């Protein structure tokens, strides 16, 4: 599902479009990851979209129903992964061939504002900095950061409070 700010015209001669959010529903076909230099990447979803005309309706309870029969390829099948919202479709028992849209919030998902997502994409596409891994004189990746004091941890030191046996406490 994708919500997008869209201009709507009542006819071809309409000079006063109405700007508003339009919800598009679709089926995910493929996930494409474009990888650029220095660990820059953009994830795209390739979808088949339902037209907002006769294949979409609302029932008397306010649920959105969609008809997926005979999907046509769209001119704009790709969206950024960060623009998508997860939904699933449940078969309607009353209207055969129609599916009810159920919006979900995926587990471990955080609302990371679409503007932030789009700013990151512009950075990925326009960035020409090379801030990759640091290489030494032999072209090997350095695994230690220079200029920082390290912390030494003695592996034989164990701090334990209590009279319990360690193995019994862990189980």
Residues in the chain with pLDDT values less than 70: 72-73, 108-136, 139, 141-145, 155-171
Instruction: State the residue for tokens 């598009």.
Output: 24
Task: Write down the pLDDT at residue 38.
Answer: 76
Residue-wise DSSP of 111-145: ---HHHHHHHHHHHHH--------B-TTSPBP-S-
Domain limits at 66? 2-126
User: Is 141 inside a domain boundary?
Assistant: no
169 sits in which H/E element: helix 166-170
User: Is 135 inside a domain boundary?
Assistant: no
User: Is 79 inside a domain boundary?
Assistant: yes
User: Is 103 inside a domain boundary?
Assistant: yes
Closest among 124, 36, 13, 24 to 79, alpha carbons compared:
24
Extract the runs of DSSP E, i.e. beta strands, from the chain: 2-8, 18-24, 26-36, 40-49, 56-58, 64-67, 78-80, 87-91, 98-103
Q: Structural domain tally of the chain?
A: 1
User: Is 92 inside a domain boundary?
Assistant: yes
User: Is 19 inside a domain boundary?
Assistant: yes
Q: List, for residues 90-127, the tens digit of each pLDDT value.
A: 999 888 889 999 998 777 666 665 555 555 555 445 44
> Strand 56-58 to strand 87-91: parallel, antiparallel, or no bridges (unpaired)?
unpaired
CA atoms within 13 A on the CB side of 144: 6
User: Is 132 inside a domain boundary?
Assistant: no
CA distance 157 to 32: 49
User: Is 166 inside a domain boundary?
Assistant: no
Task: Write down the pLDDT at residue 111.
Answer: 63
- Global pTM reads 0.56
């Amino acid at each position: 599902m994708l919500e997008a700010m869209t201009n709507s015209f009542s006819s071809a001669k309409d000079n006063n479009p109405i700007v508003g959010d339009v919800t598009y529903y679709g089926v995910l076909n493929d996930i494409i990851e474009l990888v650029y230099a220095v660990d820059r990447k953009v994830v795209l979803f390739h979808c088949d979209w339902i037209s907002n005309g006769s294949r979409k309706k609302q029932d008397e309870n306010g649920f959105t129903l969609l008809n997926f029969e005979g999907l046509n390829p769209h001119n704009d099948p790709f969206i950024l992964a960060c623009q998508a919202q997860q939904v699933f479709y449940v078969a309607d028992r009353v209207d055969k061939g129609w599916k009810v849209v159920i919006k979900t919030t995926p587990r471990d998902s955080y609302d990371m504002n679409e503007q932030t997502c789009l700013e990151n994409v512009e950075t990925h596409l326009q960035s020409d900095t090379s801030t990759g891994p640091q290489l030494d004189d032999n072209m090997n990746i350095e695994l230690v950061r220079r200029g920082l004091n390290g912390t030494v941890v003695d592996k034989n030191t164990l701090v334990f409070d209590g009279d319990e046996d360690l193995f019994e406490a862990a189980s």
